[in-house]
Chains A and B, each alone.
Chain A
């Protein structure tokens, strides 16, 4: 049931002001996005059309706390097929960013480890300019285990023991994988993160 008194009429503008969310209001609810979505095929509750409808109605809390926001594979199938050019894949990313900001402000608990993973990824990038798989996995698992480095390491070894051995045997986890490759002009990368971060605030 929709509780009209809880609707946030400004929610649609909030999304449309976020990069990627601009085309929200063009949706005419045809469901093409959902019919072709590979996630909807696997997870019965997953319905991008419905997320869009709820956003347009202003059901801010329900949308932002919906765990399904975090299982989009950003495959762009919906974007390619939408007759109204809603750009659903980018739109869902825009909604995820609003949810993350809410969480940072202590107003919401995001029900997914995805923000942790993405932050760990970007953190590697900020430090080295390139992806360092090992560092990413270590940081992500530490975060998943509530900030404990030891617990994180144990959980990571459990999950990746076989995979790690397999990669090692193929020469894909040699010395090159143990140390980060670094961009030389580090200051240029640091500038990007510093300034883009500032703009977002």
Chain B
């Protein structure tokens, strides 16, 4: 990767429910010698709840404009933030009228389209690249992993950066660090139910159950993922799902940045591995 500095868009859960993702992302980039400079005064992307596209564009135009002032590409660890930033970037690049409309709302929304928003997985594999990463791997993370991509990484096509049906960026990282990918193809890109968690818990739990049980049946030691909403659903809510549906899963769920961090020789505490709800102790025992 040529640039050694990126604008960092942490997203709202970074200080609370997904703090381990934030910690591990920062630790990994520090170790790789790439500076993450947190965007000044960023705002929420609208998540899955802002359904009006114009509102999504306005919220994200402000964020894009902040990074553009510094001339930096944006990296975010959240798939939903990424999707909202990327679709706004695309819509504004293509539509002069929309750009004018944004500027008309407020001058802080003036975005010219000279930078790019990117997802952390895309930056790691496609920008930094496997060669550079493999040179920095210090430890073997000998775990069986169910790589779970969820939505927005492989779809929709305008913003996707991996295959819609059988994405493999995470699979490649897992192989690189000495892990093994279990048979998980049919579940990789299935929605975790997160957007329905607060309004239709029954459906959301059933969706999450399918992902969790498939990983278990495939013999995985853990699920790896790259989105805080998936993390909320599959990890933080796992005990609730077990209780409600009367099942036992006990499946550790980690962010891919945490697994990669272990391979780079970063201390587990710095990667927030004590913050995941389902214990990650067994994974730590497999780092050699």
Contact = CB atoms under 8 A, between A and B. Distances in A.
Contacts of B12: 130-131, 181
Interface stretch (A5-13, A23-31, A54-62, A116-124): A116-124
Interface in B189-224: 189-191, 193-196, 198-200, 203-204, 206-207
Interface in A57-102: 70-71, 73-77, 79-81, 87, 89-90, 93, 96-97
B151 interface: yes
B51 interface: yes
| Highest count of chain A CB atoms <10 Å: which of B155, B198, B203, B204 | B198
Given A42-B207, A43-B203, A73 B54 contact: no
A191 B199 contact: no
Interface in A133-158: 133, 140
B62 interface: yes
Contacts of A188: 62, 106, 108
Contact of A184 (B41, B55, B157): B41
B239 A162 contact: yes
Given A76-B151, A173-B16, A196-B105, A121 B49 contact: yes
B155 A79 contact: yes
A199 to B, nearest CB: 7
Contacts of B19: 171-172
Given A80-B164, A121-B47, A130-B43, A163 B152 contact: no
A192 B104 CA distance: 10
B164 A167 contact: no
A20 B193 contact: no
B247 interface: no
Given A80-B156, A172-B17, A192 B105 contact: yes
A188 B42 CA distance: 11
Interface residues of A, number: 58
B43 A181 contact: no
Interface in B95-148: 104-106, 108-109
B16 A172 contact: yes
A3 interface: no
Contacts of B15: 176-177, 181
B245 interface: no
B48 interface: yes
A71 B59 CA distance: 25
Interface string B47-64: 111111111001100100
Contacts of A192: 55, 58-59, 62, 105-106, 109
Contacts of A112: 199
A74 B54 contact: no
9 contacts: A19-B54, A70-B200, A77-B155, A89-B156, A112-B199, A117-B199, A125-B59, A131-B44, A170-B274
Given A73-B193, A73-B195, 7 more contacts: A73-B204, A76-B155, A79-B155, A117-B49, A122-B46, A184-B41, A189-B43
Interface of B: 12-13, 15-17, 19, 41-44, 46-55, 58-59, 62, 104-106, 108-109, 151-152, 154-157, 160, 164, 189-191, 193-196, 198-200, 203-204, 206-207, 236-237, 239-240, 243, 274-277
